[in-house]
Structure 1
Amino acid sequence: MDEQTATTSPYTPTILLVDDEESILNSLRRLLRGQPYDVLLAGSGAQALEIMAAQPIDLVMTDARMPAMDGAMLLAETHRLYPSTTRILLTGYADMAMMIKAINEGQIHRYISKPWNDEEMLLTLRQSLEHRHSERERLRLEQLTREQNDQLKALNATLEKRVEARTSELQQTADMLDLAYDELKRSYVTGTEVFSLLANLRLPKQKQTNRQLIELIRVYCKAQAMDEASARDLTMAAALYNIGKLSWSDGMMVAPSDMLHSTDRERYRDYPTQSESLLMTLEPMKDAARLIRHHQERWDGSGFPDHLKGELIPSGARLLKLAVDFIELQKGLILERHMNSDEALLYIRKYAGKLYDPDMVEDFVQACAAFLSDVTLGDPSVKVLTTRELTEGMVLARNLNADNGMLLLNAGKVLNLPLVDKLIAFEAMEGAKYSVFIKEPDEAALSG
């Protein structure tokens, strides 16, 4: 009875928070109040090591900047003495040297910037502890397998029937190990998504791309019935494709790539290889890192970094380029003008066979139509016309904006000849060329 109770009773993880600023510790303690953790506090690295020597600690989160022993030193010592303890670095300083030291010597699991977002902080802690639990379970199962294997060898000579029974048990254990390993791989996917959210803090909200990119990739993978491994690699690549940009200046981070000059343009062309090099040491990330390296290659061979052409470009990288350009065109990160979703898809169609794999473009358009409610291009009743092709009675399928972003006409507007003439005149005055999305009058009437 006691053994059953011990098996089913929940395990409460212990978290150690380390910071020389009492106010930070108090804020973290308040945030974690009511969470299913035992929380311990330390005001210095030395005190933290004393606590860890006295009792097991599941996760330690430390400030980077502390007197005597900084966060990187504490995490390096923690890794040496208690390698199974999850390690997180918390800092308010954009100190690349500190981060590199913490990663190389402390082998940290996560990095969190001050000021933190409460929800993201709680999510990071929960996923880190889940990852530790999965790893601990995997090691336990491996030990169990070794023990059962030893027993099997001892019984093999004379007890064939018992061998068969043990073999069956070993198969079950192997299946459990596979499940544990699959869970570990899924934890990597989740980890990359969390890190992408933290990396996005370098960008203003209207320039952030990773969340939309991840969701769009998932929609496409599901629509194409893509296998789990390929979908997982693409999702991780979407989460971290721009990690190589983190060393850029704030101005360069938000500038359209088409407007960059000289040195900045060379740095831009290096970011796929920089992103790859940061991820290649992580075994589960190697395939995703390869997709990131080649996601700026072009179908005609004019891309970078390796000038691959056509089907020599990995298919996942071809898809990633479609998705990245679709999102970044709308964020003003490629051209100075912010496109709407349909305009971005028209741009992609225009350059099919030059920038993009022509066989992927239409499937991608349909995935975008499923992903975004404002995409009308997938609707067969919607046509894209120039202003000189407009006639009286046509109905706008979506808002028409000038190149400077000014709203000219609302979706649903019924055109008349004077209005068409004004549009043509305004287009000529602006020196622009508008793409007008029209819903055929009979279809508009039916929908009305």
Structure 2
Amino acid sequence: MSSTELNQLDTEVIPGLLLVDDEVNVLSSLKRLFRKSNCNVFIANSGPEGIEILKEQSIDVIISDARMPEMSGPEFLAIAAEEYPDTIRILLTGYADMEAVVDAVNLGKVSHYLEKPWDDEKLKELVDDTFVAIGFKKQNEYLQSLVTSQNEKLTEANETLEATVKERTQKIIEINGALQENYKSTIDLFANLLEMRNPKNNADAPDIAILVTDMAEVMQLPQRELIHLIRAAKMRYMSQMSFADELLHTPYVSLSKEQKREYQQYPLKGAQLLSNIRPLVPVAEIILRHKEYLNGEGYPKGEKGAALSKSVQILTVANDYIELLTGRMQKAPLTHAEAIQYLDLKSGSYYSIDAIEALKTLLSTTKLETAVKNHRILSNQLVCGMTLSQDLKNHNGDSLLPKGSELANSTITIITELERSSKKGFQIFVNIPAGLEVSKALLTSIKSTR
């Protein structure tokens, strides 16, 4: 409440008192009685004269005689009650004039009545108490109107604030989206540079980002954790950019002790590079531990068991599977079956059993006996050798690839990345030739539609 409003509340409004009687001496006595009272006193010799005063002046209390010619007190007070209901009405009546009292109560709705001759002290006390009550009532009404006004202003301010918050929230969402896109672009840039820097002897090795995404889906990893996992998969080799070619091109088992010590620091150095970027701290934590094993025989710190999150366990299995295929771990690249056998032998000691089972579920395949036409599949079921049976479009209806396009590994990677960026699944329809190796999950889907 402002100082002006407080001053308005504290300002005393002088009440109005109307005295009505046809006898001049009675009016004079009443006027003298209230001469020192803090009120404006008005007098009238009749009911009609009193009504005129009510029209022109602010009257709070009326004292009226009961028996007057032309218009009785009860009749006058009835008009006052009808047209000025907020006034307090007091009746002066002769001794035992109960008829006037009854009329006044029924018609004029009087609050008090006094018999003539009245007691000055009692009458003055009654009127003064009435003025106090009226003052409180007026202050309360003013406060109520002030509260209503303030509430209206507050509602308006809230609506303005809500609109402002909504606008700023939208801007924050847009900025955050731009930042996320920048992070993604930066990570993809590093991933491409690392891909060029690191050897990949086996052309059939799957893309690490696609592999961990599919494994995470099988293991029901939350979406927020999946984002960090994908980024960690793409940037896990970041610190290897500084490695000498010999260190990169020599299988881990063939490295000297000194070379192994240097090599084993790459997860730690990579995590240190990213830990200074707040949004990438969870990514750094995964990179730090992706070469740790459940039994504590991994590196760089020998952590084990509960310290290794589900995201870490997924990346550890996916990373080692690809490194076995590409020859980065053993002296020679392993086949798919040999790599799975290696992981199985260390299941439960080095690797999470659930993560290995998820990998095997995704990689288990069978040959398709008969060709399949125009079958809808998921992006993670795409296999090199399939052809699009319908134009591939994004959720906006924009054409991405024409009907008849044959799918190579590079094309599948692009489709998967585009779908992930759009955050909405594509409708992909393909023709699958007989003899193509497809996942058992896809084969089950094909059989269910026939």
TM norm structure 1: 0.45
